[in-house]
């Protein structure tokens, strides 16, 4: 039984009054029993929310009553349990943090490529294909032949771009570039960055990896592995079917069966990826947080620190 609808959406659009939108939007979400995270900034909106189908649809309808968001598109998925446990509407400088002033995807983004046309583009040997996601996301899946910038956060991508050999001009000409990310928001901003630097032929996957996995048959797919998602599914495969990954509550890295079987894994405390970089004090703090969570679960209550949500 699938009781909870998850809606993921974003839009780059000028919202000069974004701070004034916060309180009424939070009220609308709470009134409709919707939880998740909504980010607001002058450059637009970015969100993943979940709740009863009618509640999520009511929030989307509320947003679309604003003429600037009338054409807001969203992606849907369903689950048998609540993906999120709190509702947050946050004010940010950017809806996806790059840290480069003057970059406007509204005006400068690259060319959209539909999922059904993506294979042909990235199979062109003259096209440099770049995965704009974080290294822990790339670690469980990517497109065949894609360049991995090996970054810990999206804000590190501009520095990588500035020195990446794959982007150096050949015979005085900048290469064609195709960029992709989970849902489209990061590659939309990164293609705008490249265009601001004089790259003329820049493309990005419309709807991101999720739309590709949803619409391209597995037999025709160039995707390898799973796609990390920022909710309790952790990872999905073709057809957006949830895969067998768990999440380390300490470092937020996806974990497979080998990680879970490691002596360095301790539920809610550490995993092979973070055990060596956290102090014993931090581990003890995590153990207490895990103990409180287990007590709350035993009493059939939601602990305030339970399963924090993150947004793409």
Nearest to 207 by CA among 71, 59, 74, 63: 74
Q: CA dihedral in degrees (287, 288, 289, 294; nearest 10)?
A: 90
Tokens of 115: 């999922």
pLDDT in tens, 275-308: 898 899 988 888 988 888 778 767 755 544 444 4
One pLDDT digit (tens) per residue for the chain, 312 residues: 458 999 999 999 999 999 999 999 999 999 999 999 999 999 999 999 999 999 999 999 999 999 999 999 998 888 888 888 899 999 999 999 999 998 989 889 999 999 999 999 999 999 999 999 999 999 999 999 999 999 999 999 999 999 999 999 988 899 999 999 999 999 999 999 999 999 999 999 999 999 999 999 999 999 999 999 877 778 889 988 887 788 887 887 888 888 888 998 998 899 998 989 889 998 888 898 888 877 876 775 554 444 444 455
**DSSP letters spanning 2-31:** --EEEEEEEEE---TTHHHHHHHHHHHHHH
Position 305 scores a pLDDT of: 46
Cα–Cα dist 151/149, whole Å: 6
Residue 187 is a catalytic residue: no
Q: Long-range contact list for 224-227, CB < 8 A, 24+ apart?
A: 224/141, 224/142, 224/143, 224/144, 225/140, 225/141, 225/142, 226/140, 226/141, 227/137, 227/140, 227/141, 227/182
Going along the chain from its start, the domains and CATH numbers come out as 4-91 (3.30.70.100), 105-224 (3.40.250.10), 246-298 (no CATH)
pLDDT at 301: 56
pLDDT for 182-215, tens place per residue?
999 999 999 999 999 999 999 999 999 999 999 9
Of 29, 181, 187, 227, catalytic: 181
> CB–CB of 72/9 below 8 Å?
yes
Q: Which helix (H) or strand (E) holds 130?
A: strand 127-131
Distance CA 197, CA 233 (A): 37
């Amino acid at each position: 039984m699938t009781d909870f609808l998850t809606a993921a959406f974003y839009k780059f659009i000028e919202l000069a009054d974004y701070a004034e939108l916060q309180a009424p939007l939070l009220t609308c979400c709470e009134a409709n029993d919707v939880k998740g995270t909504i980010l607001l900034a002058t450059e637009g909106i970015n969100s993943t929310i979940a709740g009863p189908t009618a509640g999520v649809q009511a929030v989307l309808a509320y947003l679309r009553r604003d003429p600037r968001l009338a054409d807001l598109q969203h992606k849907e998925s369903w689950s048998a349990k609540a993906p999120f446990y709190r509702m947050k509407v946050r004010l940010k400088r950017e809806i996806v943090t790059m840290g480069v002033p003057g970059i406007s995807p509204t005006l400068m983004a690259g060319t959209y490529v539909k999922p059904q046309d993506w294979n042909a583009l990235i199979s062109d040997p003259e096209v440099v294909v770049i995965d704009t996601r974080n290294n822990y996301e790339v670690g469980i899946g990517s497109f065949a032949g894609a360049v991995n910038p090996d970054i810990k956060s999206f804000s590190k991508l501009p520095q990588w771009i500035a020195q990446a050999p794959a982007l150096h001009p050949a015979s005085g000409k900048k290469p064609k570039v195709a960029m992709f990310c989970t849902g489209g928001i990061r590659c939309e901003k990164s293609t705008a960055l490249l265009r601001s630097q004089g790259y003329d032929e820049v493309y990005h996957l419309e709807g991101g990896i999720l739309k590709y996995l949803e619409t391209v048959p597995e037999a025709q797919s160039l995707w390898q592995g799973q796609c990390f998602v920022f909710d309790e599914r952790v990872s999905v495969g073709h057809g957006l079917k949830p895969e067998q990954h768990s999440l380390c509550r300490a470092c937020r890295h996806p974990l497979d069966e080998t990680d879970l079987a490691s002596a360095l894994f301790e539920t809610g405390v550490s995993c092979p990826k973070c055990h060596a970089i956290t102090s014993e004090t931090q581990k003890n703090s995590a153990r207490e947080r895990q103990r409180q969570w287990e007590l709350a679960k035993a009493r059939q209550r939601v602990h305030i620190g339970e399963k924090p949500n993150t947004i793409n």
